[in-house]
Amino acid sequence: MNEKEIFNRANNKCELCENEENLSVYEVYKSDDNDGYALLCETCKNQIESQNWDENHFNCLNNAMWSEVPAVKILSYKIWQALGRSDMTDMMYLSDEEMAVANKKEEIVKDANGNILKAGDSVSVIKDLDVKGAGKTIKRGTVVKNIRMCDVEGHVSCRVEGIGQVYLKTEFLKKI
């Protein structure tokens, strides 16, 4: 599923609060068929990433939790859990597969200095890195924006200008 399809699926509205401004695609979970994404407004995304919750804002989950989209249901479930609202999570129906994804603990990924990295962060490369198969080098000081967490332990996925999509070891990265 590409970004345009996600915007169309969501009718150009945040899939949690239905806000129509400052929308971006957010990865809820890794999926082979790329359906683990939800369209979120800046307010929802910032609260999720910072874990700084405004419970009043998330009253909107009363509707979102019944979504047909697995990523939206799973994200609603995780937010209700973070808010300590077991009364709401008890009402929800998630398939066994969705429940497994919702309860999966995320690995904490750290950069070379021990700073915690999150999806969407910008990092700087601290050492010249030869890219296997490309015959190119990522130079020290190169800034990489919008990193993504990946299934390869100790690595992040990102797009490097002039090279393309690569996996980088976090031990060679510094959070900006």
Measured over the CA atoms of residue 33, residue 173, residue 47 and residue 19, the dihedral's sign is: negative
In angstroms, rounded to a whole number, what is the distance separating the alpha carbons of residues 172 and 167? 11
- Here the tokens at position 100 are 């497994």
In the structure, what pLDDT confidence band is assigned to residue 3 with cuts at 50, 70 and 90? confident
Q: For position 162, what pLDDT does the model report?
A: 87
pLDDT at residue number 142: 94
If phi > 0 it is left, if psi is from -120 to 50 it is alpha, else beta; for residue 102 that is alpha
Cβ neighbours for 142, distance < 8 A, ≥ 6 positions apart? 124, 125, 160
pLDDT at res. 7: 93
Is the pLDDT at 173 greater than 80? The verdict is: yes
Question: pLDDT higher for 2 or 42?
Answer: 42
Q: What is the pLDDT of residues 112-156, one digit of tens each?
A: 999 989 888 999 999 999 988 778 899 999 999 989 888 788 899
Confidence of residue 49 (pLDDT cuts 50, 70, 90): confident
Fold (topology level) of 109-175: SH3 type barrels. (2.30.30)
What does the domain layout of the chain look like in residue ranges?
3-103, 109-175
Contact between 102 and 77 under an 8 Å Cβ cutoff? The reply is yes
pTM above 0.85, yes or no: no
User: What pLDDT, on a 0 to 100 scale, did the predictor assign at position 153?
Assistant: 83
- Burial annotation 139-175 (CB, 10 A radius, 16+ → b, else e): eeebebeebbbbeeeebbbbebeeeeebebebebbeb
* DSSP H helices in the chain: 3-9, 42-50, 61-64, 70-82, 86-91, 96-103
Q: What is the pLDDT of residues 53-105, one digit of tens each?
A: 888 999 889 999 999 999 999 999 999 999 999 999 999 999 998 998 888 87
